Structure 1
Amino acid sequence: MNIHQIRRKNLQHLADSKFPGHGQQRKLAEFMGWSSPIRASQLLNEKGIKNIGETIARLVEQKFSLPRDWLDHTHPDLWNGVAESVSAYNITTEFMNSAGIHIKALPLLQDDEAVQWISGKRFTPTSKLQFPTMPMMTVSENAFVLEETTSSMPPQQPGDFYYIDPLITPESGDWAAFIIDGRVVVGKYEKGRMRDRLEFTDGKEAAIEVTEYQHAGKVLTRVNGDFARGVSG
């Protein structure tokens, strides 16, 4: 199965899930903002009348609130009806609060869950935290909140939170998250001529050498746990 066939099968699954029954192609076209249902018919046609290209694939993911590149991968459990519904992949909830501030509700994850999330596995998180997005701030659909459960990432304490975006590559001087020995570790990223390091601010923990392939994303902000829960409540 090539990428065009995979994309078509995924789009058909999305259409079947959201628009079952009569008028599916018309409803899909309206949802996607296409001027005619012919576009939907061509893309869903099993004979491959029109392939789903890069631009359309990314638009579909955006419209259905799915992670980038989701359409490019096989999802046999979903196709065969033995997995959770596609809603498990809908990562963020966006809304405007009473003060007119744009809010994203991000999945709240702990150690093992965060590693799975970064690796592309999707599941329904047990809880979410609200994150206010300021004008000109970009927060991807893969962003999440990591709850600190140990004292190993100073100065944060158990119960504090890191808001992390895996699709933003950290630059030198940024707080960043890296996957090290099977867990997400957060520190200050310093890019060197020969080696990159993850440093900690208390002066007690030794810096850790890291490589680019380990990085799990940029830390957007660090928040005291009590404060974060108060805002979300």
Structure 2
Amino acid sequence: MISIIFASLAPSLALLCFFYLKDNYNSEPLGMVFRSFIFGVLLVFPILVIQYAFQEEGLLISPLSQAFISAALFEEFFKWFILFYTVYKHAVFNDPYDGIVYGVSVSLGFATMENVFFLLAYGVDLAFIRALLPVSSHALFGVIMGYYLGKAKFGEKRQQRKLLFFSLLIPWVLHGIYDYILYVQRYWIYMMLPFMIFLWWLALKKVKLANKKTVNDENVKNLY
């Protein structure tokens, strides 16, 4: 059991540290980051109940509906909901990059608990591939969600609703594509590899843009 917990937690902490240390302006309070991580852990339980209920009723059983609704929509919506109501309106969310830090922490909390259940069921031998794919993909979806939340909060007010919508829509679509590749493609690895490269490229681009926005905003403040 200890090996399973360690194998589930280690890649999540490594990724969380990576994106946390990418903040070029000011680091977020660790207590708030930890709280967001725990919220992500707790999200697994209601989502599993909802997914199980749909499965028992024979609903959302096609590969398309499982990928885009049962997995992607439920998971990304609940993560977005937690971020919006516990972080977005909080005083600690005070620069655009903060959205990425908290988006990643909630997503990795979820991925860690999901990983524990998976490794308990199928064995710790799968820990490495789980770290490369599900855990890292959740982190990257969190980067993109957090980027648009940061842009919504600190961008133009007239764009706020659209950006909030994008903060859910884009991670949902990307998550759905990820799961659909796993569900229906016989040679899924040949599609997953370029898709994961694209996800990393997109997420790191958002990290750079969020940091640039933060620095530029701070420079403007220093003029007054």
Q: TM-score, normalised by structure 2?
A: 0.29
Relative to its length, the structure with more helix (as a share) is 2
Higher relative contact order (CA 8 A, sep 6+): 2
Relative to its length, the structure with more strand (as a share) is 1
Q: TM-score, normalised by structure 1?
A: 0.28
